[in-house]
Amino acid sequence: TINDDIFLIRMYHINNKKVLHFQDITLFEIYKQAKKDFVSNVSHELKTPIAVMKGIVETLEQEEDVQTIRKFLNMAKKRIDQMDSLINDLLILAKLESKEEKLNITKADLSRIVNSIFNDLEHLSKEKNIKLINDIPEGFLIDVDQKKFDILLKNLIENAIKYNKPEGSVTVSAERKDGEILINVTDTGIGIPKESQPLIFERFYRVDKSRSRNVGGTGLGLSIVKHIAEAHNGKVEVKSEPNVGSTFTVRIPERRDG
């Protein structure tokens, strides 16, 4: 190891001379480690709900009271939903990473997409009386892969609701600037500490593990967002202040060829 880089050294004999061959395998090692971490993270994420379900089933075997049985079945359902979301997110990530799927770019009305996501998430926002504000003018057209962009925005808006305070608000706005389209999702929630901000786009990173699991997160949402933004040659950025709120901004180039 030299300066944190890892080298594989091979020795050859060529024309009676010894030749040392150094190969930098740092990236390969990092990749191997990341893969190991990923598998162990996924296993851990599945182990917890399975352990809980096992406990529930064992309790149900002895239980006769219908009310209690219902309560436990409800708990089991929550865990099944949790595993279902995790598998869904893993499949989305796997597809995005394999890059086998090309983007299917069409013109989309951003305001309509946002309204339809607001509709889908109404049950969640009502739980905490959170106001959903769509600040995008009608007819704001963007060239995107609609299915993927839907997933991206849904993840950001869902987080903005989940990590919000009761009676808070979520605002989605957009603007064109210097050949780019900027889409902002702003919340009045718990915010993200500065030191965590660069890490939240990593797979399975959570600022507060127990809170995130309570609100039903898989820990994969923001890495999916990042992948989809990058697939559109764009990026995603965050500005946040603890206890005040966060703004996630997706920037994608304005396409002129479609």
What is the binding site for ligand ADP (CB under 6 A)?
Answer: 155, 159-160, 163, 187, 189-192, 200, 205-208, 212, 217-222, 246
Please, what is the minimum distance in Å from the beta carbon of residue 198 to ligand ADP? Answer: 11
Is the Cβ–Cβ distance between 166 and 128 less than 8 Å? yes
- Gap between the Cα atoms of 144 and 139, Å rounded: 15
Nearer to ligand ADP, 143 or 249 (CB): 249
Please, what is the minimum distance in Å from the beta carbon of residue 204 to ligand ADP? Answer: 8
Is the Cβ–Cβ distance between 110 and 183 less than 8 Å? yes
Please, what is the minimum distance in Å from the beta carbon of residue 50 to ligand ADP? Answer: 19
Nearer to ligand ADP, 143 or 229 (CB): 229
Q: Which long-range contacts (CB under 8 A, 24 or more apart) does 224-227 make?
A: 224/89, 224/92, 224/93, 224/96, 224/151, 224/152, 224/155, 225/152, 225/155, 225/156, 225/201, 225/250, 226/201, 227/93, 227/96, 227/97
Nearer to ligand ADP, 110 or 225 (CB): 225
Please, what is the minimum distance in Å from the beta carbon of residue 163 to ligand ADP? Answer: 3
Nearer to ligand ADP, 143 or 203 (CB): 203
